Amino acid sequence: MLPGDTLFLYTDGLTEARNAQYKMAGRSRIIKAIGDLAMKSTRQLVDTVIEQTRLFSENTEQSDDLTLLAIRYMPKEEKNILDEKLTLTNDVKEVGKLSLFIKQVTERLNIGKQLAFKLRLALEEAVVNVMEYAYPKGTVGHVNIRVTSDGHRLKFVITDSGISFNPTEASTADTTLSVEERPIGGLGIFLIRELMDSINYERTEGKNVLTIMKNY
């Protein structure tokens, strides 16, 4: 549904409503009525259709129930109170810039030290993963980080133009195994999943786009 669209649900008691001559209201009559009332509020829409049905039936007793429901999709617009960007090269020495960036963001939003630490840990894991694996060795690439907040939720979008890789499909480390038994890898994505509320990956226009979010 698009913003402003209305979903109109009804039982067959509406289309099969009969008048004194036993003629049914029919679907086409209802569709026209709804189209004429499209700009009305959902309450006005339901009330008017019921009234039109009553007039059509000429107060004839009906043999079926009449139940209507109108739902209008009006999504709440997100207004960001923060929108910051950072671009790094694929060099782990750049991680210090990321730490400072996250510190500045969390301080601006008055986020507590404990949550700020978790955010920094998750972001560093995700970004270092890109730095180490997205680009072939010896190739200079970039990692773009964008953070937005609507006052309730932080959204981090990490984008790179490297090799296609979906970290959410990687098998997570089995933390029940001992260090000797556990295969290399998987701890990073496990950590991000534990620290953040959601994680999503897309491959769009030749880019890896990892989105992680946290409510605060």
Chain segment 78-125, per-residue pLDDT in tens: 689 999 999 999 999 999 999 999 999 999 999 999 999 999 999 999
Per residue in 193-211, pLDDT (tens digit) is 889 999 999 999 999 999 9
User: According to the model, what pLDDT value does residue 170 have?
Assistant: 61
How far is residue 153's CA from residue 148's CA, in Å, rounded to a whole number?
Answer: 8
- Pairing of the two strands 6-10 and 82-89: unpaired
pLDDT at 185 over 50: no
* pTM for the predicted model, two decimal places: 0.60
Residue 18 has pLDDT above 80, yes or no: yes
pLDDT for res 186: 47
| Separation between Cα atoms, residue 186 and residue 172, nearest integer Å | 4
CA distance 135 to 102: 24
Rounded average pLDDT over 42-60: 86
**For the ranges 42-51, 71-80, 111-120, which has the lowest average pLDDT?**
71-80
- Cα separation, 173 vs 183, in Å, equals 7
Kindly report, residue by residue over 128-158, the tens digit of the pLDDT.
999 999 999 999 999 999 999 999 899 999 9
pLDDT the model gives residue 171:
55
Among 25-39, 57-71, 140-154, name the most confident range. Answer: 140-154
pLDDT at 176 over 70: no
Average pLDDT, the chain: 86
**What is the torsion angle, in degrees rounded to the nearest 10, for the CA atoms of residue 28, residue 32, residue 38 and residue 43?**
-70
pLDDT above 70 coverage of the chain, percent: 90
- Written as six digits, the tokens of 91 are 């060099």
Following DSSP, what letter does each residue of the chain receive, concatenated? --TT-EEEEE-HHHHT-B-TT--B--HHHHHHHHHHTTTS-HHHHHHHHHHHHHHHHTTPPPSS---EEEEE--PPPP--SEEEEEEEES-GGGHHHHHHHHHHHHHHTT--HHHHHHHHHHHHHHHHHHHHHTS-TT---EEEEEEEE-SSEEEEEEEE-SS---GGGSPPP-TTS-TTTSPSS-HHHHHHHHHSSEEEEEEETTEEEEEEEEE-
